[in-house]
Structure 1
Amino acid sequence: MVKAIIFDLDDTLISEKKYIESGYMHISHLLSNRLDEDQHKLNRILNELFQKSPQNVFNRLLDIMGVHYTKSDILELVEEYRNHFPDIEFFDDVSRCLEFLREKNIKIGIITDGYSNSQRQKLNAVKAFDIFDEIIITSELGKDYWKPHPKSFEIMKEKLNVEFNEMIYVGDNPEKDFYIYKIYPINTVRVLREGIYKDRKYLDGIKEKYSIENLKGILDII
């Protein structure tokens, strides 16, 4: 019997692409004032650079603009990006799914990787702390405990007072979201979003038990 459904955050409940776009809009606004450049131009360049490669986007932007910078300048931009309050919302299928689970008295939680400040800002933006029973940001446990490490699942089990075989984990990333089934009898569900990690390889070939096009598919599984 399913007593708890735990969700990944990025590209499962919210769009990571929309978050990135929001962050770049924030940075472009900041730099437009500092550099006396057009914000929309800066934002366009940032997004184009990211499409080519997600690495060192701020460095490459400043190189293009002919701006001298230091390592501390880049670190400041990274912190601005991570700490900004994002203009994001849940995917369209999330609210109805959560309402259904509440009606069935199924507990709901989130386990998410990522830097604490940025993840908390995302969660605050969608008011997740008011909705979910428990939320675990793995970076707050320590960098060694990001998924696929099982520690966050062990903590969630205790917090929700359920057994592993009464839990389902819903994610999108083949590289880390479904490996938990090799360690504990937690059934896993892959939601097939157009996310930025959708083409990653399965860790050790461990695949999800179920795959769904959207979260409405959860209704059929439980």
Structure 2
Amino acid sequence: MNEVRTIVFDLDDTLYPERDYVLSGFAAVDAWLMEQKGIEGFGARAVAAFERGVRGRIFDEVWAELGEQAVPVSHLVEVYRKHTPQLRLPEPARELLDWCRCRYRLALVSDGYLAVQERKVAALGLTQWIECIVLSDQWGRDAWKPSERPFREVMARLPGEPESFLYLADNPRKDFVAPKRLGWRTVRFRRPRGEHANYEASPLEAAECEIADLSAMRDLLTRVSPST
């Protein structure tokens, strides 16, 4: 079995908690409403809805609670998506990237609206560690995971045997099907409080192994690549 030579990271809920982006977006919409329309209370209500587990219709629900029609909900979503996120790379992720970049080639594969993901990458300063960043939306929604296209792009830019690639990600519903099909190694990060932490994967979806803390990656990588 070939040693791992290339570590490929997912972004949201892997290198940083996706919740941080969501809260940053709510704060941006709240500030915009205050400044432009004098409307108060959006941010606190949106956070409360998110913490209750509401997904997909938070803007509609909060707007209905406020009884507002001054701005279309679609415009609030646009403000959310276009805001410059206030994000900080958590120390465990920073330490892992520092350790990995001296030992491996590093890449990133992430889904999501292209401009949104680009702003996240910039806010987190990931280019100082990661040489190959592949955002699947550059080819459109059909290239989002579980499409093989972004993973094949990594292999085209950083050639190597399939089993020398390892993908670290959090969402087994979509993250591991394609890299497993291509022959990659796979690791699930079951982040505490992560969006997909409670999801139990089917055999088709499941990663080769899983961790609950990024600090565990060093030991895992030492086992699969003992020369590091």
* TM-score in terms of structure 2 length: 0.88
What is the distance in 2 between the residues matched to 1:203 and 1:147?
17
Question: RMSD of the alignment, in Å?
Answer: 1.7
Instruction: Give the C-alpha shift of residue 58 in structure 1.
Output: 1.9
Query: Which of 157, 160, 163 is 2:158 aligned to?
Result: 160
Aligned to 2:121: 123
Letter paired with 2:46: L
Q: Secondary structure at the match of 1:208?
A: coil
Question: Do the aligned partners of 1:176 and 1:202 also contact (CA within 8 Å) in 2?
Answer: no
Question: Do the aligned partners of 2:151 and 2:179 also contact (CA within 8 Å) in 1?
Answer: no
In 2 relative to 1, CA 62–7 (structure 1 residues): closer, same or farther, beyond 3 Å?
same
Residues 161-212 of structure 1 show CA distances to partners (whole Å, capped at 9, x for unaligned) of 2221110000011211121344111000111202112233536633111211
Question: Do the aligned partners of 1:109 and 1:132 also contact (CA within 8 Å) in 2?
Answer: yes
* Count of residues paired in the alignment: 217
What is the distance in 2 between the residues matched to 1:200 and 1:172?
10
Instruction: Give the C-alpha shift of residue 87 in structure 1.
Output: 1.1
Aligned to 1:97: 96
What stretches of structure 2 of length at least 5 have no aligned partner? 222-228
Aligned to 2:224: none
Percent of counterpart pairs with the same letter? Answer: 26
Q: Secondary structure at the match of 2:206?
A: coil
Paired residues for 1:55-204 under 5 Å: 55-69=56-70, 73-104=72-103, 106-194=104-192, 195-202=194-201
In 2 relative to 1, CA 129–95 (structure 1 residues): closer, same or farther, beyond 3 Å?
same
Residues 96-118 of structure 1 show CA distances to partners (whole Å, capped at 9, x for unaligned) of 111211222x1001100111111
Aligned to 1:47: 47
Aligned to 1:14: 16
What is the distance in 2 between the residues matched to 1:138 and 1:166?
21
Q: Secondary structure at the match of 2:91?
A: coil
* TM-score in terms of structure 1 length: 0.90
What is the distance in 2 between the residues matched to 1:85 and 1:119?
11
Letter paired with 2:28: H
Question: Do the aligned partners of 2:148 and 2:178 also contact (CA within 8 Å) in 1?
Answer: yes
Q: Secondary structure at the match of 1:180?
A: helix
Residues 11-61 of structure 1 show CA distances to partners (whole Å, capped at 9, x for unaligned) of 0001111110000000011112234233xx321111122334222222222
What is the distance in 2 between the residues matched to 1:181 and 1:110?
13
In 2 relative to 1, CA 107–118 (structure 1 residues): closer, same or farther, beyond 3 Å?
same
What is the distance in 2 between the residues matched to 1:180 and 1:59?
34
